[in-house]
């Protein structure tokens, strides 16, 4: 029993140390908004991607989802106690696309869960917008108990000329808090250009209040009809990434790897299906 308690305490201390080392806000993560192996392979550029994972990354992209779709993702942390996983479903309607999501981050002694309900639609061929309402639940074992909060996120996408997208997204603009701790408020602004049917370049900035701005750039290359490749780079700290996607008969499977300059590689996996 004493050994188990000591082990749990060690894991919790290591968990917090790595959180601080990789510059995540305060003690907690509170379910960041990036999801999908394609985004991970592109150094987490996500705000201008209009695939199924807009359900998490920028809800304006839901306006371009025109089939009932479902997907799951898994992101491995630097230790298994930092793993993040979730799933979602999107249903197009006459007025726009409705989506629901669920995420789980952490482990038995410390975990965060998020349930989300989103809506996105195109207003013209040049503009789309989306919003998502989130319920957050955080729990620490023992005497620390649990906390709950409600927040939201909003995003827009514009296509001023053919093949050029400009996107913006804000997570937690209300600056909601979880108990006595602040939930991160994160701003993203990005631009992408489709050079051909095969090559997409995306550039993005991400800023969390009281943190250094992160710059990202990613490339998605359609190698052949069923296979795509991704690569990217981001700053603060400098991370490199690469990944691959496989596409067949409604299935889209992606795996991406992000290389932290000190802590090494973390893989991400996602699969979605269009019905």
What CATH number is given to the structural domain containing 45? 2.40.160.60
pLDDT tens, residue by residue, 33-88: 689 999 999 999 999 999 999 999 999 999 999 999 999 999 998 888 889 999 99
pLDDT of residue 211: 84
- φ, ψ for residue 81 (rounded to 5)? -70, -10
Mean pLDDT, residues 13-19 taken together = 46
**Omega of the bond leading into 237 within 30 degrees of 0 (cis):** yes
pLDDT tens, residue by residue, 89-145: 999 999 999 999 999 999 988 899 999 999 999 999 899 999 999 999 998 877 677
**Which two three-digit tokens encode residue 98?**
């409705």
User: How many distinct structural domains can be found in the chain?
Assistant: 1
Residues 6 or more apart from 193 whose CB is under 8 A from it? 163, 164, 165, 200, 201
Count CB atoms within 10 A of the CB of residue 144.
12
Domain that holds residue 106: 2-274
Mean pLDDT, residues 2-18 taken together = 46
Residues 152, 131: contact at Cβ < 8 Å?
yes
Instruction: Identify which has the larger pLDDT, 9 or 39.
Output: 39
């Amino acid at each position: 029993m004493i050994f188990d308690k000591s082990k749990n305490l060690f894991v919790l201390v290591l968990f917090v140390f790595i959180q601080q080392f990789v510059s995540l806000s305060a003690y907690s993560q509170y379910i960041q908004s990036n999801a999908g192996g394609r985004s991970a392979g592109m150094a987490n550029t996500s705000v201008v991607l209009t695939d199924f994972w807009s359900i998490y990354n920028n809800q304006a992209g839901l306006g371009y989802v025109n089939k009932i779709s479902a997907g799951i993702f898994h992101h491995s942390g630097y230790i298994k106690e930092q793993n993040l996983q979730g799933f979602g479903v999107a249903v197009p309607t006459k007025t726009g696309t409705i989506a629901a999501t669920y995420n789980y981050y952490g482990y038995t002694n410390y975990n965060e869960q998020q349930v989300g309900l989103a809506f996105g639609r195109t207003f013209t061929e040049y503009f789309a917008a989306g919003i998502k309402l989130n319920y957050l639940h955080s729990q620490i074992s023992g005497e620390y108990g649990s906390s709950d909060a409600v927040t939201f996120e909003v995003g827009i996408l514009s296509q001023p000329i053919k093949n050029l997208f400009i996107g913006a997204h804000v997570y937690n603009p209300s600056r909601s808090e979880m108990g006595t701790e602040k939930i991160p408020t994160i701003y993203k602004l990005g631009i992408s250009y489709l050079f051909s049917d095969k090559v997409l370049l995306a550039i993005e900035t991400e800023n969390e209040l009281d943190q250094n701005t992160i710059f990202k750039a990613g490339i998605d290359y359609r190698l052949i009809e069923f296979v795509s490749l991704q690569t990217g780079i981001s700053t603060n700290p400098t991370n490199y990434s690469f990944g691959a996607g496989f596409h067949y008969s409604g299935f889209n499977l992606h795996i991406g790897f992000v290389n932290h300059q000190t802590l090494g590689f973390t893989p991400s996996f996602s699969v979605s299906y269009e019905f």
